[in-house]
């Protein structure tokens, strides 16, 4: 990871806005975390899943007001998520919109500087701040030492924080992405889409596929959704990857003991064989059966 950067202005994220008297209760029935606990000044990680428990997208939510919620997610997935959520609005008093053009999205290493009125800033990860600034506030002065999206991604990988993209949407059940360990699931909330599968995996303890962190032993380029087999025989599917020194890469990948099983379909579609060293995650994973 490159050091010395201070702010990233291009994170590749978009803004979903949910407004209306039923905004929180509507999302409560759709997402894996407890949206009734949302507050301004926090980013709540939550998953949006299919009825089969597979993760469509990961969202970071905050509340401007009890009836006005914002969610950050990859820009490429935003129209997919808005479109799917709108199918279930029915009579709920909630309006779902793509609000990306109304906000500047900035990521800071360390504390965020003083921000204009109307901005939302909250901790993200171990030592970062993620901020939304209204476009109406005008341009924000660039901070010293600008960083890149890869710098931000490198921090995510080091901290074991997953992301879902178009290439991996609906590939992983929540526990495969370690959402149960990093606070992305509220097991004590009511029903939501995919809840039955996710709860069954938790209470029966049958999660053999888990996201792990690796560094490649050889120069390579990996992208989300790419599959392969490791030197120890495990199959893997890439969640996130970032280039590091000498053409090598660090990456997060969901692994499985079977050497030829694609993690999404079960088909034998291994793309590469890769020598990689597993690195420690900053959190502990439950034992697998």
In a domain, 1, yes or no: no
pLDDT above 80: residue 142: no
CB-side exposure of 272: number of CA atoms within 13 Å?
Answer: 15
Number of domains making up the chain: 2
Residues 227-286 have pLDDT tens digits of: 999 999 899 999 999 999 889 999 999 998 876 545 455 555 567 889 999 999 999 998
- Looking at the structure, do residues 43 and 103 belong to the same domain, yes or no? yes
In a domain, 223, yes or no: yes
Interatomic CA distance for residues 32 and 179, integer angstroms: 9
Residues 66-91 have pLDDT tens digits of: 999 999 999 999 999 999 999 999 89
In a domain, 155, yes or no: no
The CATH number of whichever domain residue 225 belongs to comes to 2.40.30.160
Range of the domain at 138: 7-149
Residues 107-136 have pLDDT tens digits of: 999 988 888 989 999 999 999 999 999 998
- Looking at the structure, do residues 99 and 60 belong to the same domain, yes or no? yes
In a domain, 164, yes or no: no
């Amino acid at each position: 990871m490159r050091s010395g950067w201070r702010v990233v202005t291009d994170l590749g994220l978009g803004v979903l806005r949910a407004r209306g008297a039923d905004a929180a209760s509507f999302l409560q029935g759709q997402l894996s975390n407890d949206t009734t606990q949302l507050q301004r000044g926090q980013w709540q990680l939550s998953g949006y899943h299919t009825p089969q428990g597979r993760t469509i997208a990961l969202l970071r939510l905050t509340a401007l007001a009890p009836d006005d919620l914002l969610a950050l997610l990859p820009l490429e997935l935003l129209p997919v998520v808005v479109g799917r959520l709108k199918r279930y609005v029915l009579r709920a008093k909630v309006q779902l919109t793509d609000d990306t053009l109304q906000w500047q999205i900035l990521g800071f290493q360390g504390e965020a500087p003083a921000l204009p009125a109307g901005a939302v800033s909250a901790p993200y990860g171990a030592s970062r701040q993620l901020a939304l600034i209204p476009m109406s506030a005008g341009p924000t002065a660039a901070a010293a030492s600008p960083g890149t999206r890869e710098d931000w991604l490198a921090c995510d990988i080091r901290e074991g924080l997953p992301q879902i993209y178009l290439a991996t949407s609906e590939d992983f059940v929540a526990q495969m992405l370690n959402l149960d360990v990093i606070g992305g699931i509220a097991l004590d909330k009511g029903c939501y889409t995919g809840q039955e599968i996710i709860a069954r995996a938790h209470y029966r303890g049958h999660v053999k596929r888990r996201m792990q962190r690796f560094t490649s032993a050889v120069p390579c380029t990996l992208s989300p959704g790419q599959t392969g087999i490791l030197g120890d025989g495990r199959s893997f599917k890439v969640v996130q990857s970032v280039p590091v020194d000498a053409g090598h890469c660090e990456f997060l990948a969901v692994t499985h003991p079977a050497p030829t099983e694609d993690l999404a379909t079960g088909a034998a579609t291994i793309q590469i064989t890769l020598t990689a060293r597993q690195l420690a995650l900053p959190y502990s994973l439950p034992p697998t059966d």
